[in-house]
Amino acid sequence: MNTNKKTVIITGASSGIGFALAEEYLKRGYNVVGNARTSERLKAAAEKLGKPDNFLLVAGDISKPETAKEIFDRAIAKFTKVDILINNAGIFIAKPITAYTEEDLDSIVSTNLKGFFHPTQLAAAHMSANKQGHIVTITASIAMQPSAKVPALLPVLIKGGLNHATRALAIELATSNVKVTAVAPGMIDTPLHSNDEGTKAFLKTMAPSAQIGATKDIVDAVLYLTEAQFTTGVVLAVDGGATAGNW
């Protein structure tokens, strides 16, 4: 353990973008605090990463305030302070509005909204007291420019709100030297999407580049933001040009 290193909290760290972020920050010498819903998923991720000593596992439902508190309490107890929070945990349910259920609504509000709010509230207090820090949220580019190809009102509703919340919080915390940004992915090759060729062919139609992004593309964007000194209040689309206009 090295308390002189910077410490990053990553929610949804057991797979996909979250796992890729954890892997890269560990390579760069950061202390990483990874959260996922179950300890089994986190332990499997730690095994893949070689069980590094500076990878702290905190399982629990991030929509619960007590989970967010445990993450910060344990991170601070082990690593002294938190420098970066990456709100990565999220779900995506695409349906016509008439097909959404109450369960869909509750799931998206819990994970995507409450899972952002509770850790961000704690990060804002902790980082403001330290007069430094960075909060990054993984949102969605479809919330910036909805598409008739993928009806997705609930993700657009919540992720769009998070895009605006990023700007608002960046202004609120600017005098405390806390930066707040977001990365809005387009179609990225993660376990969220089916791996069959038909699905991949369709996903490629969601960007004018006719490509699907990789988790590395999102990692690179997050790294830029967390290392930038004069960038805050930005929602960075990483989507192969999908939000650039009509095509």
Write out pLDDT tens, residues 70-94.
Answer: 999 999 999 999 999 999 999 999 9
pLDDT tens per residue, range 16-69: 999 999 999 999 999 999 999 999 999 999 999 999 999 999 999 999 999 999
Strands 235-238 and 31-36: unpaired
CATH of residue 74: 3.40.50.720
Q: What is the pLDDT of residue 169?
A: 98
User: In which residue are the tokens 């609120």 written?
Assistant: 172
Residue given tokens 């969605």 in the structure block: 140
CA-closest candidate to residue 145, choices 207, 93, 193:
207
Domain that holds residue 170: 7-238
50: which residues sit within 8 A by CB, 6+ positions away? none
| Both tokens assigned to 206 | 């969601």
Q: Beta-carbon neighbour count of residue 101 at 10 Å?
A: 10
For residues 68 and 43, the answer to whether their CB atoms sit within 8 Å is no
| Structure-token pair, residue 180 | 């707040």
Contact 72, 82 (CB under 8 A): yes
- Tally the domains of the chain: 1
Residue 2 maps to a domain: no
Question: Does any domain span residue 245?
Answer: no
Closest C-alpha to 127, from 26, 217, 194, 226: 226
Does residue 76 lie within any of the structural domains? yes
Q: Is residue 45 part of a domain?
A: yes
Structure tokens given for 125: 């207090």
In which band, very low, low, confident or very high, does the pLDDT at 200 lie, cut at 50, 70 and 90? confident
Does residue 38 form part of some domain?
Answer: yes
The helix/strand/coil state of 113 is: helix
In a domain, 25, yes or no: yes
Which candidate, 18, 159, 30, 23, places its Cα nearest to that of 88? Answer: 18
189 within some domain = yes
